[in-house]
């Protein structure tokens, strides 16, 4: 079974458990922290994916990192993943948990890749456009790529709008090549 499918199933189970325990928002906040920690620490990723490292060692590592701040339900969930030999999908499960949580709460994540940082007015305009199309609360992130020359690329879910100058030049070049 693919890592995505496994992570998705574990994430949905954790959502259900968190809802039952009235800890959905707390576990959401913890999962954001888990994503940041694992993303910034390649050694931790390697340890979690390494089948040679003993399960109790993995449990103690996660406990020492998250034990004081994470919700007890989440710590139990970590131990379950480790016992099932699925510690390697912890990062993917955390990311999928965020996706599931956002769907449940009606939150839309959008990202804008632009040649220069967006002004607050531009961010507000983009948020309003995304709200009109998708509804709900919008979380907007902005990344900078000077190679775009100008304009932006907006990504919401699996949809992408390329309004960059580099994109327009590429389309124009393809048109002339035909």
- At 168 the pLDDT is 86
pLDDT digits 0-9 by tens, 71-86: 999 999 999 999 999 9
pLDDT digits 0-9 by tens, 84-110: 999 999 999 999 999 999 999 999 999
Rg of the chain over all Cα atoms, to the nearest angstrom = 20
Helix residue spans in the chain (DSSP H):
3-20, 24-40, 42-49, 55-66, 72-83, 90-105, 120-134, 165-177
- Its CATH architecture, for the domain 106-177, is 3-Layer(aba) Sandwich (3.40)
Enumerate the β-bridge partners of residue 47: none
The CATH classification number of 3-103 equals: 1.10.520.20
What phi, psi does 166 have (nearest 5°)?
Answer: -60, -40
Q: Where are the domains of the chain?
A: 3-103, 106-177
């Amino acid at each position: 079974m693919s890592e995505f499918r496994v992570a998705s199933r574990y994430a949905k189970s954790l959502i259900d458990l968190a809802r039952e325990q009235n800890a959905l928002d707390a576990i959401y906040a913890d999962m954001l922290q888990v994503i940041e920690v694992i993303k910034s620490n390649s050694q931790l990723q390697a340890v979690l994916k390494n089948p040679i490292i003993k399960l109790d060692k993995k449990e103690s590592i996660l406990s020492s990192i998250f034990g004081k701040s994470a919700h007890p339900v989440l710590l139990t969930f970590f131990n379950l993943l480790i016992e099932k030999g699925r510690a390697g999908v912890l990062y993917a499960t955390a990311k999928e948990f965020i996706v599931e949580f956002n769907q449940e709460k009606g939150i839309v994540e959008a990202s804008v890749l632009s040649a220069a940082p967006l002004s607050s007015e531009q961010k507000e305009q983009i948020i309003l456009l995304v709200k009109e199309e998708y509804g709900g609360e919008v979380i907007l992130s902005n990344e900078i790529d000077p190679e775009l020359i100008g304009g932006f690329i907006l990504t919401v879910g699996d949809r992408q709008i390329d309004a960059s100058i580099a994109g327009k030049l590429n389309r124009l070049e393809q048109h002339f090549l035909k």
